[in-house]
Chain A
Amino acid sequence: MNFIPLSHILIFSLLLFAIGIYGTLVRRNIIGILISIELMINAANINLIAFSKYTSLAPETGQVFALFVIALEATAAAVGLAIVLALYRVRKTILTDEVHLLKW
């Protein structure tokens, strides 16, 4: 079985990461920002798997790290959404530019 070139996968995940950056920068809604961050982490995971497949002599190394990333990302999403809910209960908004309690 022959694979597509490594650089194609890298450019694909670069585009995915850039889309995530764009979403993180322009979204007003905190949930939208969290979703965009998930896209970026996903792109990083694709890179880990691709590198471990193409260049590493021990292909399970990159997969183990991708597993750790997925687990940590799940905890991050859970805690982040809990913070969003707590914020919504107190301030009745989850738009980032309306949460300016610390802004003078």
Chain B
Amino acid sequence: MEILSFLAKFGIYAVMLAILIFALGVVTLRNLFHCALCLAAALIGTAGIYVALQADYLAAVQILLYVGGVITLVIFAIMLTEHLAGKTVRQNNSQSPLAIVGSLGFIILIGTLIVKTPWPVNPVALKAKASVLELGQALMGTYVFPFEIISIVLIAALIGTVVIAKKDPQ
């Protein structure tokens, strides 16, 4: 059991490292199509993190909605505007050093905060496991109002997307 738990922890850290590498690929690669594929890999890795945190349903939703839906949309958009995605076009503007300095400052600030804060880790909460049943009951009970609002927002976004993207009648 010792070795098994050690291997599980090692696996989580390996997945985290892989996600960070793929995320770097998303923001640095020249070809936008490769960026989209790297994003898909990073999102699948995130689903692995969800499984490690015992959020199985979230992992399934992540793969279905992000990797199945959003990545498909992004690849569609890239292909419809394809000749810009070629290698000849410069993909980054000239603010890269400033952006690196800003990001590093952000990391140092928030990282210090994270390290210095005594997080109130609850041993009871660590043992509790949220099943899909409890998730559904929470969605239909406590959070039923935001749930309905989300459905209205989805319909509005669907109609709005069609209206924006369709051809002008003229």
A residues contacting B by CB (< 8 A) are: 1-4, 6-12, 14-16, 18-23, 25-29, 31-32, 34-36, 38-39, 42, 45-46, 49-50, 52-61, 63-64, 66-68, 70-79, 81-86, 88-89, 93-97
User: Which B residues are CB-close (under 8 A) to A32?
Assistant: 27, 32, 35, 91
- Contact of B121 with A63 in the complex, beta carbons under 8 Å: no
Q: Chain B interface: which size bin?
A: 35 or more
Bound CA span A67–B146, Å: 11
Please determine whether A15 and B12 come into contact, CB atoms closer than 8 angstroms.
no
Chain A contacts of B55 at CB under 8 A? Answer: 49, 53, 63, 66
Give the total number of A-B pairs whose CB atoms are below 8 A apart. 230
Q: Is the contact region of chain B dominated by helix, strand, or loop, or is it mixed?
A: helix
A57 to chain B, nearest CB (A): 6
Q: A27-B92, A54-B125, A74-B65 are in contact. Are A85 and B138 (CB under 8 A)?
A: no
Of the residues B78, B91, B106, B164, contact of A86 by C-beta under 8 Å: B164
* Alpha-carbon distance between A21 and B26 when the two chains are bound, in angstroms: 12
Using A26-B95, A59-B130, A63-B58 as known contacts, say yes or no to A21 and B111 having CB atoms under 8 A apart: no
Q: Is B87 an interface residue (CB 8 A)?
A: no
Find out whether the CB atom of B39 lies under 8 angstroms from the CB atom of A35: yes
